[in-house]
Amino acid sequence: MPGTNALTWDAYLCRASDIDDDGWLILQPDTYGQKGSAYHDYAGPLGFIARPLDPEVDADGHVVAGCMMLSAWEGGKQYLIPLADSRIVPNLPAVQKGESIMYGFASNFVRCHLDGSVSIFCTSLGATPGGQTIQWKSSPTGRLYSAPWGKETFDNTGYHLRAFSGARLDLGGVAGMPAPLDALGSYANLQAAAIRLTATLTSIGPAGVPADAVAKATPTLIALQTILPVLNLLATPAVSFVAPPGGGPCTPTPALIAAIATAVATLTGSTAAVPSNSCTVT
């Protein structure tokens, strides 16, 4: 019964929820099976708000399962504090001594573990508990992100990213190598069936020295194929040069002149692409 000089407490199941004209969450208690009870203001911890799901009702409209609420009367004013929902809690992991879990109604939750770790969990099927695990966990020893499409870890072994396709990136440290290899303190590994690098500038080489300029594979091959006919002609002087009667300087044959002209025209059109500082591997 409502009190006049002190708070009066009671417990109900939540029949319904709504938002009033002022934007405030209001709840309707299932007052001992009565269907027509009034809505009252939500009350909850500072910085946190939760709106219950609608309850399950029987054929007569009586609430049989739903969110429990704690009711507090202050004079003629009633406040309702949502508590646990018996339909949701069984789908959550068993909380250990000293742990806390903030959960949603899709079996998703944030869990503070006893060892200091914090994990965020949901499933690949949204509101269906039977989906595949999607988990983000931060612990005193590292970070883990795991999902059906891949896995990411960052701990004392380095940074490791693996996609479900098999592509992966590993960055880490190297220790225990004999001299002079003991100077190699770190490594990077990029693995995939096909790799493409796109950049305005690519630098290859150790730090502190001029970077190595690496030629593009395809333009370099075209250039070599263009020069090869000229080299073949030069390797056969009898068909490349003509010696004038009576001696004197030799002159190039029309075939050599044509081959050189073709090579010059081809290389001139691709000069910017041949000496490059990027690399394509096929």
Tens-digit pLDDT profile for residues 99-152: 999 999 888 999 999 999 999 999 888 766 678 889 999 999 999 999 999 999
SS (H, E, C) 106-153: CCCEEEECCCCCEEEEEECCCCCCCCCEEEEEEECCEEEEEECCEEEE
Task: Specify the higher pLDDT residue, 149 or 235.
Answer: 149
Q: What is the pLDDT of residue 9?
A: 87
186 shares its domain with 101: yes
Number of domains in the chain: 3
The whole domain housing 266 covers 196-282
End residue of a domain, out of 157, 191, 225: 191
Q: Rg (Cα) of the chain, in Å, rounded? A: 38
Question: Residue 235 burial (CB < 10 Å; 0-12/13-18/19+)?
Answer: exposed
pTM for the structure as a whole: 0.66
What is the distance in angstroms between the CA of the first residue and the CA of the last residue of the chain? 82
Asked if residue 2 is part of any domain, the answer here is no
Q: What is the pLDDT of residue 32?
A: 65
Q: Using one digit for the tens of pLDDT, what is the confidence trace for 156-202?
A: 999 999 999 999 999 998 877 777 767 778 889 999 999 888 888 77
End residue of a domain, out of 85, 107, 126: 85
Q: What is the mean pLDDT of residues 33-58?
A: 85
The C-alpha torsion from 199 through 200 and 206 to 211, rounded to 10°, is: 140
Q: What is the mean pLDDT of residues 22-49?
A: 85
Banded model confidence at residue 277, pLDDT cuts 50, 70, 90: very low
